[in-house]
Structure 1
Amino acid sequence: MRLRPPRLTPRDVLHVGSSGLRTRPLRVALSALGIAIGIATMIAVVGISSSSKAQLLEELDELGTNMLVVKPGEPMFSGEEVKLPKDATGRASRIEGVEHVGGTGDVKHPVRRSEKIPKEETGGLTVKAATEGLLSTLRGSVAQGTWLNKATGRYPSVVLGHVAAQRLGIGSPGQQVWIGDRYFTVIGILDPLPLAPEIERSALVGWDAARSTLGFDGHPTSVYERSTDATVAGVRKLLAPSIDPENPRNVQVTDPSAALQAKAATEGAFSTLLLGLGGIALLVGGVGVANTMIISVLERRHEIGLRRSLGATRGQIRIQFVTESLLLSGLGGLAGIALGAAATAAYASSGGLPWVVPLWAVSGGFGATLVIGTVAGLYPAIRAARLSPTLALQAA
């Protein structure tokens, strides 16, 4: 009568596979650490990149991708400066699909904290004449004070961009700055405008006040228009011929949101190197697991020989050590996922970013640990299964 070896239930496999881990906790912790570092690096890199991308996408949703900016083009042959028509904003507003239009014009005077500061020290700031519809077109908001209107736009009043207020040391409305040959009263300070950084670094005065007190010629240097999402492409084609029908080549149309869109699309490109380093750390951790399993086989030859003599098959010995390797790698993988998620949360919290850890990164990282655990434990398991029970017991 041929004897059949006893079968191991999944519970039995888990019990014998974890026996080596329970008896050597320090070695298990050190071996799992390599796996944890690799997975934590990969999760953190992907999480931080995804969090940054999510913030950019939120900004794009809030600011919109339906705004275009019109500026004078470069002269083709003559050296004369190209100027937009004085009624460029009005012409743009008549295009079907355009909802909001605003314009600015460069004023050839610096803005200074007082008349005692030399004209050469501009601080990188400019003075611009602004139309009343500029703020709504940019979807901007006033942090303090108020925006220019028909009344304040006629008098020496000014609204400062976010950066301009900081560089001038203006913390609240009511203070004055020197423009041209007189003081202008600050009536408002704007919130940041990611789609219009040039406005953030400007002192904005009313269109009428710029013409009457600062010698502004009335030609806009930038026209901002916002249309419906469905008509952006059509409006872009019509802007140049509508603003300057005789010379549409003298009109340049740009999309300020293109930079943010490109940044969102390429977010994570620079994290490839860090992902590679995380993968290398993961492989090194896998080598550490394999080394631990080989040592475990050598130290437990008596146990292997005893189990074989009591009827355990080679397949059961292989399953035992592969299971032990999988458990070791799995513990390292779970610890790495937790560390990576915590690192992402800390970075997102410090930078005011949304916390995003993609599910595919978590599942892919944990799956990689299981694959590495299987590969790392396969050779030690085969080596353990090949041990002769008699020789194993004699060696013990």
Structure 2
Amino acid sequence: MKGFARRQRSVLGVADALRLGFLGLKARPGRSVLSALGISLGIAAAVAVLGISASSEADLLAQLGAAGNLLTVGAGQTMTGTPAPLPSTAAAMIRQIPPVQSVTATAYIDGASVRRTAEVPAIHTGGISVVAAEIGLPKTLDARLESGTFLTEATIHYPAVVLGAVAANVLGINAPGPGILVYVGHEYFTVVGILQPVTIAPEIDQSALIGFPMAESAFNPALQPTQVYLRSAADEVPAVSRVLPFTANPAHPETVRLKHPSDVLEARAKARTQFTGLFLGLGAVAVLVGSVGIANTMVIAVLERRREIGLRRALGARRSHVAAQFMIEAIVLSLIGGACGVLFGGVATLAYAAVTHQQTVVPAVAPLAGIAAALAAGSIAGIYPAYRAARLEPSEALRSGE
């Protein structure tokens, strides 16, 4: 009939739905913050774990690159279990292998101790070993000095010692100097240098390094090397590994121990990957708990706003509009928590990298995955509250709200 206007259908635009969602959260800020906190902590933990793992992995990859062409030849044992030291010519023979780029030998001095003073009992060694070293050790192991200098052509003949990072810490020595002495064996040695940690050869960290000539005159005239470190062309490492036992000890190649330090770093990287999976699982549990908290908050909101829902329905809002309003509130609440979590996780990664002196690496997938997880959690958390709100009849909602 021409006298009756056609009834318009109620329409809820996207902008209006978002505005309603924010207004609903703004009406109860304290509860909203606490609900978002659960999601935020879970996302922060996940982002921080991924960021810290990526930063550590980048550091390990750098170390692997430094250790990729490093090989260690060590003294072993015979079939009867007796020690089989390397020949004194081992380092010189290894230098003759064409792909070998640098070689340095060390010798463990049995029975020698390192103490701060002679008054300290000899049994209190602190786990520090006395090791004879060649002047080429820093170049071969890429070792860097924390302070002072390394052994030179002059100091290897005199009572001069370079301390590894752990050894210096145990002895309580922060810097070398003319008056800084340690008691090595039966005489005082001047500390001329302190090394930074040597990741690819951690045994050096717990050592007091002296020159071979000094070690032979003070401890053992027939001192033989116990370890030989060498670097070769990266592409030739397998070939060099095959000939090393026969070159280092031609008489008894079966007693030679051959190590590749990068294997230890790779094992460490695998161990860290396992821990990363564990912590990600804990972060996922935290996100799940946070989504339950959001769902609970939204259910309470439906009960408290029954009159509002009834009034909107009486004014023409459809069930889908009411459901959309509460669904959007849950999603917005979760996304706010997710965004804060991504920020907190990034800050935690930055702090960790600064403390450990590593480069800060946050994978691009970490913040994206964090926001996606928050979106999914909010969507799941809003389903039941939205369903309950949409099922309310206008008359019933208005009566219950009085």
2:48 paired with 1:44: yes
**Is 1:129–1:206's contact at 8 Å kept on the other side of the alignment?**
yes
CA distance in 2, matches of 1:111, 1:36: 52
Shift of 1:220: 0.8
Q: Which amino acid aligns with 1:335?
A: C
Equivalent in the alignment of 1:167: 170
Indicate yes or no: 2:21 matched with 1:17.
yes
Are positions 1:338 and 2:340 aligned together? Answer: no
SS of the residue aligned with 2:55?
helix
Structure 1 residue 43: deviation in Å?
2.4
5+ residue gaps in structure 1? none
After TM superposition, the structure 1 = structure 2 runs for residues 328-367 of structure 1, keeping only pairs within 5 Å, are: 328-367=333-372
- Structure 2: where are the runs of 5+ without partners? none
**1:85 lines up with 2:87 in the alignment:** yes
Confirm or deny: 8 A CA contact 2:165 2:196 kept in the other structure: yes
State yes or no: 1:310 paired with 2:312: no
User: What letter corresponds to residue 98 of structure 1 in structure 2?
Assistant: V
Q: In terms of mean alpha carbon deviation, does 176-185 or 92-101 score higher?
A: 176-185
Which runs of structure 2 are paired with 1:185-204 in the superposition (5 Å)? 185-204=190-209
Q: Could you tell me which residue of structure 2 aligns to residue 280 of structure 1?
A: 285
Contact persistence 2:100–2:232 (CA under 8 A): yes
1:245 aligns with 2:250: yes
| CA drift at 1:322 | 1.1
Matching of residues 220-259 of structure 1 within 5 Å: 220-259=225-264
**Pairwise CA distance, 1:265:** 3.0
What is the alpha-carbon distance in structure 2 between the residues aligned to residue 155 and residue 316 of structure 1?
Answer: 89
SS at match of 1:102: strand
- Number of residues of Structure 1 aligned to a counterpart in Structure 2: 394
Please name the residue that 2:102 is paired with. 100
Q: Does residue 1:137 correspond to 2:131, yes or no?
A: no
User: For 2:41 and 2:161, how far apart are their aligned partners in 1?
Assistant: 55
Q: Is the partner of 1:312 in helix, strand or coil?
A: coil
Correspondence for 1:123:
126
Of 16, 30, 36, 1:32 maps to 36
Deviation at 1:255, TM superposition (A): 1.5
CA distance in 2, matches of 1:41, 1:158: 46
Distance 2:15 2:209 in 1: 75
- The 3-state SS of whatever aligns with 1:346 is helix
1:217 match = 222
Native 8 Å contact 1:46 1:268 kept in 2: no
| Letter matched to residue 106 of structure 1 | Y
1:110–1:122 CA contact under 8 A, matched in 2: yes
Is the CA contact (8 Å cut-off) linking 1:67 and 1:226 kept in structure 2?
A: yes
Task: Provide, for residues 2-58 of structure 1, a one-character-per-residue CA deviation record: whole Å limited to 9, x for no partner.
Answer: 645143322122122323112222222222222222222322333333333333334
Query: In the alignment, is the contact (CA less than 8 A) between 1:70 and 1:252 conserved in 2?
Result: yes
| Contact 1:5 1:313 (C-alpha < 8 Å) held by counterparts | no
Cα gap change, 1:328/1:237 in structure 2, threshold over 3 Å: closer, same or farther?
same
Q: Please state how far the C-alpha of 1:379 moved relative to its aligned partner.
A: 1.8
Shift of 1:70: 0.5
Segment of structure 1 superposing worse, 93-102 or 237-246: 237-246
The alpha-carbon deviation at position 268 of structure 1 amounts to: 4.1
State the distance in 1 between where 2:99 and 2:134 align.
20
TM (normalized to structure 1)?
0.90
Which of 377, 396, 400 is residue 372 of structure 1 equivalent to? 377
Q: CA deviation at 1:271?
A: 4.3
Shift, 1:114, TM fit: 4.2
Secondary structure in 2 matching 1:326: helix
1:103 deviates by 0.1
SS of residue in 1 equivalent to 2:101? strand
| 8 Å CA contact retained: 2:63, 2:200 | no
Q: Deviations over 1:291-331 (max 9, x none)?
A: 22222222222322232233222222222221111111111
